[in-house]
Structure 1
Amino acid sequence: MEMHTQSRWTLAGKKAVVTGGSKGIGAAIVAEFIGLGAEVLAVARHTEDLTLLQQQHAEKLHICQADVSTPEGRQKLVAQVLEQWGQLDILVNNVGTNIRKPTAAYSAQEYDFILNTNLRSAFELCQQFYPLLKQADQGNIINVTSVAGLTHVRTGVLYGMTKAAMVQLTRNLAAEWAADNIRVNAVAPWYISTPLAQTVLQQEAYYEAVISRTPMKQIGKPEDVAAAAAFLSMPAAAYITGQCVAVDGGFTINGFQPE
């Protein structure tokens, strides 16, 4: 029984790609996966950040400097995976960006930038890695979306649009690719203590407003999201697909709670 349990709660022997893997939630997912036995390829735009991350994880981590919001960046990543491993078990579409503006203020360039980074990168990497994931013992895709894709939060309409679309991408691929033994799930964080979130959380009034809407009365940690992503990638989650798990301290189920 012990060996059976160990084989279900591990990522040993798995090959995983994590986009946006050098900082914040992405770096936490990289560390969690490596700690559970996976070999990981972290992708990010900045070589310095990737080099620092690689120093922490030695031989278990590979790096790829690429901007996956561009066709060239995606091609570079896919080529490296094919050359380095020739296989893939887990794809984590984590890369994301945002520009906070009123809807009427967005330019066409900003629209393209946010959609290419958050959504098109995920969609096309799913397409391009599909043959490798289909060949895996069980392929897994984890899409890192946001509670902004589940309900309205003050992030700007484009960010919310892309994150909602990632949830629907998750559902559609889960149904379509189940016959190929590929599971597709999503995690939807609320405010997590990352450098990106700190740009607004450092404002005391904003921080207090966030806490007031969060039943658990705390900001999440990157490791909280990483743990959910890791579980959904394990054999223990073999019958779970098409789901979006909110990692949000209860935010999305917090209705009217009078004092």
Structure 2
Amino acid sequence: MTDAGIPTPFRADGLVAAITGGARGIGLAAGRLLVAMGARVVLMDQDEQAAIDAAREVGSGATRGLGLDVTDEAAVRAAFADVVEREGRLDILVNNAGRAIRRPSLELDLADWEAVVAVNMTGAFVCARSAAALMIEAGRGGAIVNTASVMGLSGGGLYPNISYQTTKGAIVNMTRALAVEWAAQRIRVNAVAPTWTRTGFIGELEQNPALMQRIRDVTPLGRLAEAEEVAYAIGFLASPAAAMITGTTLAVDGGFLAQ
């Protein structure tokens, strides 16, 4: 136990975490939490300056920002190699970069479909594979937490969002498959499935009060999630406290999927 009475398995002292999509929203909230848990954190984002600014906002010498386009495999490999070179190790990947293009299926250009797939599915796979290769090489195991969505477990969206729903469903099953494949190397792979969360990611939706009310109406707890609430689930799954948990998708959904 720590002096504050918090069980040490919930700490991440001495561990190094990389977070994609880390400059804002859920990724940034996860970064703040992991730093508070004792980890050294690299916030990665396509917007390099935003990642650097976010690291400054966290305000800890244990945090730095790094530009990364998850659709560029060579850049992904180089970024994770840089983490190991500069931080000495890589123990945790929060696979959080995401994109949404909310259009009906018959109006969604193939290029837009492919752009969402490139970030949400292929990018997540490339990041997981690159991080796992370094974890396996180091021989210490590790933890990967993917950001899925309630829309990856339910087709009941309140508006057309086919590419997002499809890719988040793929994340759920990729999480299972990678968990089984890498279990022998002591790499745990889990996911969180957030409901609508109050971040800039849903910014345009918040301009529609009627839709926001519908979201509250279909959520038993009657509200959107906060980024910090999703981060708490990520922190748990990334921590030694979840040592016997792998292949699981943890819904952070206010009861949405229980209906």
Q: TM above 0.5, one fold?
A: yes
The corresponding residue for 1:141 is 144
Query: Does 1:97 pair with 2:99?
Result: yes
One-letter code aligned to 2:14: G
Q: 2:111 aligns with which of 105, 109, 112?
A: 109
Query: Does 1:74 pair with 2:79?
Result: no
Query: Identity of counterpart residues, as a percentage?
Result: 34
The corresponding residue for 1:223 is 228
In terms of mean alpha carbon deviation, does 13-22 or 77-86 score higher?
77-86
Per-residue CA shift, 1:83-142, capped at 9, x if unaligned?
A: 213421001110000101111222221122101111111111121222222235341000
Could you say what secondary structure the match of 1:230 adopts? helix
The corresponding residue for 1:9 is 10
Match runs of 1:140-179 below 5 Å: 140-152=143-155, 153=157, 154-179=159-184
For this pair of structures, how many residues does the alignment match?
254
In terms of mean alpha carbon deviation, does 151-160 or 225-234 score higher?
151-160
How far apart are the structure 2 equivalents of 1:124 and 1:117?
10
Query: Does 1:249 pair with 2:251?
Result: no
How far apart are the structure 2 equivalents of 1:48 and 1:183?
31
Runs of 4+ in 1 over 6 A off after TM superposition: none
The corresponding residue for 2:89 is 87
Could you say what secondary structure the match of 1:142 adopts? strand
In terms of mean alpha carbon deviation, does 49-58 or 230-239 score higher?
49-58
Cα deviation for residue 45 of structure 1 reads: 1.5
Per-residue CA shift, 1:199-255, capped at 9, x if unaligned?
A: 10231100110000000011110000000000011111111111001101001112x
The corresponding residue for 1:237 is 242
What is the TM-score normalised by the length of structure 2? 0.93
Query: Does 1:27 pair with 2:20?
Result: no
One-letter code aligned to 2:143: N
Could you say what secondary structure the match of 1:241 adopts? coil
Does the aligned pair in 1 maintain the 2:52–2:64 contact within 8 Å?
A: no
Per-residue CA shift, 1:65-100, capped at 9, x if unaligned?
A: 121122243133123223213421001110000101
Q: 1:59 aligns with which of 61, 65, 75?
A: 61
How far apart are the structure 2 equivalents of 1:90 and 1:105?
38
The runs of 5 or more residues in structure 2 that have no matched partner are none
What's the C-alpha RMSD, in Å, of the aligned pairs? 1.7
